[in-house]
Amino acid sequence: MIKYSFYGGVSIVSEYESIKEGERGAWISILAYVFLAGIKLMISWSAGSDALRADGLNNATDIVASAAVLIGLKISRRPPDHDHQYGHFRAETVAALIASLIMTGVGLQVLFSTIQKIINPMDAAPDMIAAWTAVGCAVIMLAVYRYNHRLALKINSKALMAAAKDNRSDAYVSIGAFAGIVGAQLGIPLLDPIAAIIVGALILKTAWDIFREATHSLTDGFDEEMIVAFQETVNKTPGVEQVKDIRARFQGNHVFVDLTVYVDQDLSVKESHMISDAIETRLFKNHKIRHVHVHIEPFIKENSLPSPSSSA
């Protein structure tokens, strides 16, 4: 007997409304990055700061990354159709993968241009207005981080949580740029391009982290510790004799679980169905799993098997 629950007892409307709510956080990130990137790039040009310029380019890539998250979330809200019967949830993962490649290109460009300036240095230190700009932008990004972090926890969105962590790292990058600019003002001009190199390296690291997570998810990779936790929950469900097999994979931010369980062979179809419902309820309550595929098999007790002597 197979019991398949696509929404785990949760309304499809409420599920897609949660995704739509996450779009608000993506829009806030985009607007913040557009404003901050423009300010940083403009002031870095007039103040002569490599670190602030690299920080501004970092925010420019974040615009693309946040836009990719937004587009992915919008596509994810499309309901299942004839050729996407599991829905469109993986759209945001594909968008994140594309964004990581764009970020890699920008990170390499920042490193290349900064190394050229180290080889051919300029004597003038950047103006302090660049430092104060970096500090002000760091404060704004920390505020955006706190908003998106709370929203991601509320709607249980991994994509938005990743965006929030990116907001926080951008604030730290701005603080690093501030330190480099101040160091240049104190008579150590090499600190400004060094800060720019650190920013470029952070862009590449963020791009790699996004790329690795996206490819892991798209190839159906899954955390083994989470599988063990799911299995423990199912094992505690009344009526479940044993978990024969359990697998899980991501569709965007949503987890799809496929499992086979043994139940008493003497149970009726209705009783087996009720056990399946209980498994779905427990997985949603304990792990927020909405998509569960349960296969029921009879548990053959040893004393019910014929003995070798009786069959001879």
Query: What is the arrangement of strands in the sheet containing 240-251, beginning at the earlier edge strand?
Result: 2-5, 291-299, 254-264, 240-251
Among residues 190, 218, 246, which one ends one of the domains?
A: 218
172 in a domain, yes or no?
A: yes
207/134 same-domain check: yes
- Please spell the DSSP secondary structure of 36-54, one letter per residue: HHHHHHHHHHHHT-HHHHH
Query: In this structure, is residue 235 part of a structural domain?
Result: yes
How far is it, in rounded angstroms, from Cα 292 to Cα 95?
A: 25
What is the Cα–Cα distance from 33 to 22, expressed in whole angstroms? 17
Q: What is the pLDDT at residue 94? A: 82
In a domain, 1, yes or no: no
**What residues make up the domain containing 306?**
224-311
Between 187 and 150, residue with greater pLDDT: 150
More confident residue, 91 or 268: 268
Give the tens place of pLDDT for each residue, 69-87: 788 778 877 777 777 777 7
Residue 10 in this model has a pLDDT that exceeds 50 = no
CATH number where 282 lies: 3.30.70.1350
Query: Residues 72, 93: contact at Cβ < 8 Å?
Result: yes
pLDDT surpasses 50 at 205: yes
Mean pLDDT to the nearest integer, 76-102: 77
For the chain, what is the domain count? 2
Asked if pLDDT for residue 4 goes beyond 80, the answer is: no
Is 95 part of any domain?
yes
Question: Is 271 in the same domain as 174?
Answer: no
pLDDT at 1 over 50: no
**Does the pLDDT at position 7 exceed 60?**
no
* 112 & 204 share domain: yes
Q: How many Cα atoms sit within 13 Å of 4 on the Cβ side?
A: 4
Does residue 32 sit in the same domain as residue 158? yes
- Tell me: do 73 and 172 sit in the same domain: yes
Strand-strand pairing, 291-299 and 240-251: unpaired
CATH of the domain at 140: 1.20.1510.10
Long-range contacts, 166-171 (Cβ 8 Å, 24+): 166/62, 166/65, 166/206, 167/29, 167/32, 167/141, 167/142, 168/141, 168/142, 169/202, 169/206, 170/58, 170/59, 170/62, 170/141, 171/137, 171/138, 171/139, 171/141, 171/142, 171/145
pLDDT in tens, 208-263: 888 898 898 888 888 889 999 999 999 999 999 989 999 998 887 778 999 999 99
Torsions phi, psi for 256 (to 5 deg)? -110, 125
Residue range 278-304: average pLDDT?
85
Q: Is residue 302 part of a domain?
A: yes
Q: Has residue 2 got a pLDDT over 70? A: no
Q: What is the mean pLDDT of residues 194-201?
A: 80
Coil, strand or helix at 6:
coil
Q: Are residues 81 and 127 in the same domain?
A: yes
14 pLDDT above the threshold of 80: no
Residue 11 has pLDDT above 50, yes or no: no
